[in-house]
A and B are shown apart, each in its own frame.
Chain A
């Protein structure tokens, strides 16, 4: 449906049913940093962030606390999101102190692996929300707030996902071929980590 409006003698046509998006004001802040990180493991994780938005009446009457659900109508939202976690070894402080050699045997002592979230994606098309008649729709600010909480929940769950152990194994899988190219025999290579040096001999883990 097209409506015509006159403004200072000029005819303007405004389309209401379809709309035209205009993008303006690009702005950026960049931070460039030199580093030396070897990413050894990639984990794709999925989470459905849900929120049940109920209006509640809280307070106290005669020193008795109360918390009552008000029948103004509920709002519910489910936001599916995918994230990529990567484990890496930071080589920026790597020096001859990380190398121990005895004859034809070599031990590479590595810093502890670290895990970072490298990307995340909201499955916008599959976001589902149900809003009662008396309530307002979820705003963009509310949705991004729930998404940020979901992101924080994924990061908090990292210790439970067993990523660090897999990262240690994969670090050895990347570095051992490099050391064999340098002339070391595989059985003479030990990739070890600063913590739990005695228990976590990665070559031994690979042999199992």
Chain B
């Protein structure tokens, strides 16, 4: 008996809903969800003093997908990852007396140019392109690692490192000239 009452109440609710929605011009009805996230705090976990001088920025976006073979159809997950590889020199790696002055000549021995930060993927920017089937955390983690490897292979090339080194030399020379030195000699650690 209580079940019958519930069913009748539900039918009555649906009828009223339909009547309000479709037969009364002054009324409006909308069924939906709020897609906004809740307000939560952002916590600083650590603060570190760094001295990373970036001379080449390589912004990259990578379309990565995975397929799960099934009996009747395959499941797909396709995501677009974004990352920026920053090449330059770490000023915390300079040797003692890396910068010397003799008259109007300054000599600088800069650390080797390299990847400044191994964490370069902005995973929170990731776009979901296509999804079919149900996917787990480990699948998304595997896609992240694949995007990471691809970005590293494509962007951390000898050509880009050479371009970064040439720009480092040009920028550092410009800075020293602007400080009044007439001759600037720059070399890089091997």
* Contacting residue for B167 out of A34, A41, A62, A174, CB 8 A: A34
CB contacts (< 8 Å) of A33 on chain B: these are 56-59
Q: Is the CB of B54 within 8 A of A39?
A: yes
Residue B67 at the chain A interface, CB threshold 8 Å: yes
Q: Is the CB of A30 within 8 A of B123?
A: no
B interface residues, how many (CB within 8 angstroms):
99
CB contacts (< 8 Å) of B64 on chain A: these are 23, 26
Q: How far is the CA of A138 from the CA of B38 in the complex (A)?
A: 16
CB contacts (< 8 Å) of B100 on chain A: these are 181
0/1 interface trace, chain B 59-81, chain A, CB 8 Å (1 if under): 11111111111110000011100
CB contacts (< 8 Å) of B122 on chain A: these are 117-120, 151
Residue A187 at the chain B interface, CB threshold 8 Å: no
Residue B28 at the chain A interface, CB threshold 8 Å: yes
For residue B56, which residue of chain A has the nearest CB?
A34
CB distance from A180 to the nearest CB of B (A): 9
Q: How far is the CA of A46 from the CA of B46 in the complex (A)?
A: 10
Q: How many A-B pairs with Cβ below 8 Å?
A: 288
CB contacts (< 8 Å) of A52 on chain B: these are 38
Q: Is the CB of A26 within 8 A of B63?
A: yes
0/1 interface trace, chain B 157-190, chain A, CB 8 Å (1 if under): 0001001000100010011001110000000000
0/1 interface trace, chain A 8-46, chain B, CB 8 Å (1 if under): 000000101001111111111111111111111111111
Residue A54 at the chain B interface, CB threshold 8 Å: yes
Q: How far is the CA of A25 from the CA of B174 in the complex (A)?
A: 43
Stretch of A153-161, A190-198, A200-208 contacting B (4+ beta carbons < 8 Å): A153-161
Q: Is the CB of B31 within 8 A of A57?
A: yes
Q: Is the CB of A25 within 8 A of B63?
A: yes
Q: Is the CB of A36 within 8 A of B54?
A: yes
Q: Is the CB of B71 within 8 A of A16?
A: yes
CB distance from B102 to the nearest CB of A (A): 10
CB contacts (< 8 Å) of A83 on chain B: these are 124
0/1 interface trace, chain B 102-124, chain A, CB 8 Å (1 if under): 00001000000000110111111
Q: Is the CB of A41 within 8 A of B178?
A: no
For residue A55, which residue of chain B has the nearest CB?
B33
CB distance from B169 to the nearest CB of A (A): 11
CB contacts (< 8 Å) of B137 on chain A: these are 124-125, 127
Residue B93 at the chain A interface, CB threshold 8 Å: no
Q: Is the CB of B34 within 8 A of A14?
A: no
CB contacts (< 8 Å) of B71 on chain A: these are 3, 5, 14, 16
Which chain A residues in 84-125 approach chain B with CB under 8 Å? 84, 86, 88, 91-92, 94-96, 98-99, 101, 117-122, 124-125
CB contacts (< 8 Å) of A32 on chain B: these are 56-58, 160, 163
Q: Is the CB of A37 within 8 A of B53?
A: yes
CB distance from A109 to the nearest CB of B (A): 11
Known contacts A50-B37, A55-B33, A183-B101; is-contact A28 B46 (Cβ 8 Å):
no
CB distance from B188 to the nearest CB of A (A): 16
Apart from A40-B50, A43-B47, list 17 A-B contacts with CB within 8 A: A23-B146, A26-B64, A27-B62, A28-B150, A30-B60, A31-B59, A32-B58, A34-B167, A37-B53, A41-B47, A44-B47, A47-B40, A49-B37, A119-B119, A122-B123, A124-B138, A166-B47
A-B contact pairs, 5 of them (CB 8 A): A33-B59, A42-B46, A118-B120, A118-B122, A161-B42
